[in-house]
Structure 1
Amino acid sequence: MDTKKKQPIVARVVIYLIGMVLLALGITLNTQAGLGASAIVSVPYTISQGTGLNFANLTLIVYCVLVVVQFFIKGKDRRWMDLLQVVVSIVFTRFMALFQYGIKYQSGFLPTDLLVLALGILFTGIGAAMTVDMRLIPNPGDGIVSSLADRFGRELGLCKNCFDVFCVVCSLVIGLVFGNPLIGIGLGTVLSMLGVGRVIYFFNHLAKFRLQKMAGL
């Protein structure tokens, strides 16, 4: 393969990895704002809050479960390549653990909490857009939503909304077991559900074409 052919592939991988880092940073900031986790990671975050176990490690476990569930949802359409989502999850959650360790923000002052939350939503949306736009390996959260949309013939956005609601309900039930149904759910959860999609929309409107052109797509 000559140099000219290699360049778009390298650019595609680099953009994907940058997106993964930004996504991990965004989710970490979202939780550190102390206003509730985004829907997709609200279950591991709630368990973490209730048990004291590491949030990143719990997220890895939940993501692996989502990969297994995808295999059942897809049925005959399953691909062994889907297992690469586990590798992506390991790398992604290690970035989360790194940010969790390195960022020592203490929540409790609402104006700065809202600022940290806004940054979390911004980075989450940009990171999600960059990883999805490169059309490589989806993270398990996106993968299972796509699987549900294909399996039931429904629009992707609708399946995303339904899955988010399902995650929030599960988190409320788990929180109830720990004595506080809102232990991992709050204003930040609602704002993330509304805001991340808007960030993805505007980012793609401004940058998707240029990024995909750089990546040879």
Structure 2
Amino acid sequence: MLHDSFSRFGERRLPRRLGQLYLGLALYGFSMALMIVSGLGLDPWDVFHEGVTARTPLTFGTVTILVGAAVLLTWIPLRQRPGVGTVSNVVVIGIAVDVSIWALPSPGGLATQALFLVGGVVLNAVATAAYIGARLGPGPRDGLMTGLVRRTGRSVRLVRTSLEVTVLAVGWLLGGTVGVGTVLYALSIGPLVHVLMPRLTVPGDRRPVGTGVR
């Protein structure tokens, strides 16, 4: 929660948490750009973002920011409260992906495309574990999922699958790229994040400092 995140600003580990959060978000945007430039397929939400980008004059990063902000608004009826990491997620990833798309060279062939894709998926997992492990708030899309799970009583698997299938289908219809990268991401991102999370989660302070609120 945003209030809870700021109430912990006296923690000894706060500099690491903030640094890890913003490095993770910037890396997430870079990993997205690698997959986009590869042209071999995107994760479901990015298929949707690319589809909207194809139908508007907006950049991919701008669409990512606007969709993230719109998803964040759905937290209100779900009674979710964002953390500082949630708000940062909406803005930083969108800026990072646009800068990275501009800076990355076009892949010269299938081998380079495959390298971009695999690198993008692996770095995306590192980035996800890093920003979640900072413990400063989930991303807006994850918060939507957990809010729906709590309000509907349905399983995480059902809610997440329903959301991702919906945005994937809409994105594909709008012109987003679905391909081998979409399948690779779906099969590998969960196991990769599972392995990385324990290594990148910042432990809580044993003795809170400052306000004492945990």
| TM interval, short-chain normalised | 0.7 to 0.9
* 5+ residue gaps, structure 2: 1-9, 207-214
Q: Which has the higher helix share?
A: 1
Q: 1:97 to 1:155 in 2, by over 3 A?
A: same
Taking the aligned partners of 1:157 and 1:216, their CA distance within structure 2 comes to 32
The question of 1:160 aligning with 2:160 is answered yes
Taking the aligned partners of 1:44 and 1:20, their CA distance within structure 2 comes to 17
When normalised by structure 2's length, the TM-score is 0.81
Equivalent in the alignment of 1:25: 30
Q: 1:47 to 1:192 in 2, by over 3 A?
A: same
Q: 1:68 to 1:86 in 2, by over 3 A?
A: same
User: 1:37·1:186 contact (CA, 8 Å) conserved in 2?
Assistant: yes
Matches within 5 A, 1:84-163: 85-104=86-105, 106-107=106-107, 109-163=109-163
Q: 1:24 to 1:165 in 2, by over 3 A?
A: same
Taking the aligned partners of 1:144 and 1:7, their CA distance within structure 2 comes to 30
The question of 1:204 aligning with 2:193 is answered no
How far the C-alpha of 1:160 sits from its partner, in A, is 2.5
* 5+ residue gaps, structure 1: 176-182
Amino acid aligned to 2:54: Q
The question of 1:62 aligning with 2:67 is answered yes
User: 2:49·2:63 contact (CA, 8 Å) conserved in 1?
Assistant: yes
Secondary structure, in 3 states, of the residue corresponding to 1:28?
helix
How far the C-alpha of 1:125 sits from its partner, in A, is 0.8
Q: 1:82 to 1:131 in 2, by over 3 A?
A: closer
Secondary structure, in 3 states, of the residue corresponding to 1:184?
coil
Equivalent in the alignment of 1:191: 184
How far the C-alpha of 1:86 sits from its partner, in A, is 4.1
Taking the aligned partners of 1:185 and 1:48, their CA distance within structure 2 comes to 15
Amino acid aligned to 2:45: I
Tell me the percent identity: 21
How far the C-alpha of 1:137 sits from its partner, in A, is 2.2
Amino acid aligned to 2:111: P
Root-mean-square deviation (CA, aligned residues, Å) is 2.4
Amino acid aligned to 1:142: D
Matches within 5 A, 1:170-189: 170-175=170-175, 183-189=176-182
How far the C-alpha of 1:52 sits from its partner, in A, is 5.5
User: 1:146·1:156 contact (CA, 8 Å) conserved in 2?
Assistant: yes
How far the C-alpha of 1:41 sits from its partner, in A, is 1.8
The count of corresponding residues between Structure 1 and Structure 2 is 197
Equivalent in the alignment of 1:11: 16
Amino acid aligned to 2:121: I
How far the C-alpha of 1:69 sits from its partner, in A, is 2.0
User: 2:80·2:143 contact (CA, 8 Å) conserved in 1?
Assistant: no
When normalised by structure 1's length, the TM-score is 0.80
User: 1:133·1:212 contact (CA, 8 Å) conserved in 2?
Assistant: yes
Q: 1:91 to 1:130 in 2, by over 3 A?
A: same
Deviations 1:80-139 (A, max 9, x none): x469734431122111122122112x2462222111101100111111111112221222
How far the C-alpha of 1:157 sits from its partner, in A, is 4.1
Taking the aligned partners of 2:57 and 2:177, their CA distance within structure 1 comes to 12
Taking the aligned partners of 1:141 and 1:71, their CA distance within structure 2 comes to 13
Q: 1:144 to 1:204 in 2, by over 3 A?
A: same
User: 2:65·2:90 contact (CA, 8 Å) conserved in 1?
Assistant: yes
Matches within 5 A, 1:77-88: 77-79=79-81, 81=82, 85-88=86-89
